[in-house]
A and B are shown apart, each in its own frame.
Chain A
Amino acid sequence: MLPILEVKNLIVSIGSKTLVKEINFCLHKGETLALAGASGSGKSTIAHAILQLNPSEMKASGEILLQNENLLRLPERDMQHVRGRKIGIVFQNPMTCLNPTMKIGKQIVEGLIYHEKISGKEARERAIEFLDLVKITNPKVRVDQYPHELSGGMRQRVMIAMATACRPEIVIADEATSSLDRVTQTQIIELLKEIQNKTGVSLLLITHDLRLVSRSCDRVLIMQQGEIVESGFTKQIFESPTHTYTKALMEACYA
């Protein structure tokens, strides 16, 4: 399989504190990779570093290669073309990630407007199409509604529609299901997997929930305090975890 994203010796630090310590991993085309670990282990910092969304006080070094281009060296203007178009991201909290003063139809096509310069009328049609794609009923009504009129699960569907609108090659789900209930979580993961089957997108799932990992991921990286302590195929790790931290995480999940 082809690696689509390669992270080599990534170090992220703020001041004298190192948050991510020499991380190496790669994401293959069409696969689902999990980055799992407890809160504060540096999972989200890595996700944000890939898209360079970290605050400017955070310094990242090493290499993040997307199709042999080092994202860490890319000027901001070129980075804007990568965000949304090549790599999409779904954030944790769908309640705060949608602008409460904007209709959801407008927000879904934001990326399209930046990258494809489509007209207002076309944008609306595309928005309805996307709402339908992420299985929101009554898309023609929903497109003109504001975020507060939608439930958490529906908003997360809207976020997924936003992140996948420009057909990126990689979608990062940064704790995308953590603030939802179990039933909705399953639906959201199923939706992501379905989009993956259709488009062949690579998924990077960032989560602390190993149950979710066991059901939906091909490979998994276990992180502890900024380091990858164990990695491998999901099945293999779940059957015979070697690191004590992995065992502890699994015990916590299945207790």
Chain B
Amino acid sequence: MISTREKFISSRAGMIGLSTLFVIVFMAIVGPSLSGQTYYDTHLALKNQPPSLQFWFGTDDLGRDVFTRAWYGARISLFVGVAAALIDAVVGMLWGGIAAFSGGKVDEIMMRIADILYALPYMLVVILIMVVLGNGIGSILVAMTIVGWISMARVIRGQILQIKQEEYVLASIALGANFFHILIKHLLPSATGSIIVTLTFTIPAAIFVEAFLSFLGLGIQAPVASWGTMVNHGLPALNYYPWRLFFPALLISATMLSCNMIGDALRDATDSRS
């Protein structure tokens, strides 16, 4: 029997995605201190410089180093992406898990609540929440997770409905296990595969939403950089200074692509049928 890990390692796309993501994360940690520039220092005499030895990715309209800003933005984007995905996962796991395992009326009511939230136009809800809570990382996270957990809850519910029919769950109940023992010891661990796969697809989606919100001007505020704000500021200068848009856009695309490649490879690796 080939193990999940071996299957994942033998998948070329998965490994390319993993190494790309590794490089991006590594650069997000060390990148901002490599160039000797800060993300907020302006060089008004050196506005809109093309990439050079001094400014590796060029400078923006205030003479700030795009290289440093891009990797600094990577920290924020990756943090928001991972944090939002984790919050979604925990809330979704508990909601879906409890709904599926309780069954009957509880399941019915909990999933209808999820359906109602899901029916609200996502962007509208997020924008409204951002308007109420104001800008900042905290409110981005709240806004994203308030509706984001639903798909995780649905995946988990489906998995658990299937797993709770297994005889080892009955055997555990016969040993005197209560509701939470079963949920935490048997049901959630058995659903780990699909939880991880869903998580790897949630992270790029969250990164994208953060970039999108920042692009709309609702997200992170200057001088703090995120990929979304950099794209937003770079767009008007696209015809003359394309590097201001190109680098952050490239990083967003590369991150999302590598996350999706990892997700695909993991999904194939955890699928016991293949």
Which residues of A line the B interface, CB within 8 A? Answer: 51, 53, 56, 77, 80-85, 88-89, 91, 93, 96-102, 110-111, 114-115, 159, 162-163, 166
Contacts and interface: CB of A to CB of B under 8 A. Distances in A.
Interface in B126-175: 166-168, 170-175
A51 B177 CA distance: 13
Given A80-B177, A84-B175, A85-B176, 20 more contacts: A51-B174, A53-B170, A53-B173, A56-B104, A77-B178, A80-B176, A81-B176, A89-B171, A91-B167, A96-B166, A97-B168, A97-B170, A98-B171, A102-B185, A110-B172, A110-B175, A114-B175, A159-B171, A162-B171, A162-B175
Contacts of A51: 174
B219 to A, nearest CB: 40
B190 A99 contact: yes
Contact of A91 (B104, B171, B185): B171
A83 B173 contact: yes
Nearest to A95: B167
Contact of A83 (B104, B176, B185): B176
B181 A114 contact: yes
B176 A96 contact: no
Contacts of B104: 56
B269 to A, nearest CB: 16
B176 A91 contact: no
Contacts, number: 67
Nearest to B163: A99
Nearest to B170: A53
B47 interface: no
A221 B173 CA distance: 27
Contacts of A100: 168
B175 A96 contact: no
Contacts of A96: 166-168
The 8 closest A-B pairs by CB, nearest first: A84-B176, A84-B175, A111-B175, A96-B167, A83-B176, A99-B168, A114-B176, A97-B171
Interface string B23-54: 00000000000000000000000000000000
B186 A99 contact: yes
B227 to A, nearest CB: 38
A101 B190 contact: yes
A85 B176 CA distance: 7
Contacts of A99: 166, 168, 172, 186, 190
10 contacts: A51-B174, A53-B174, A82-B176, A88-B174, A91-B170, A99-B168, A100-B168, A110-B185, A114-B177, A115-B176
B189 interface: yes
A84 B166 CA distance: 19
Contacts of A102: 185-186, 189
A89 B176 contact: no
A10 to B, nearest CB: 19
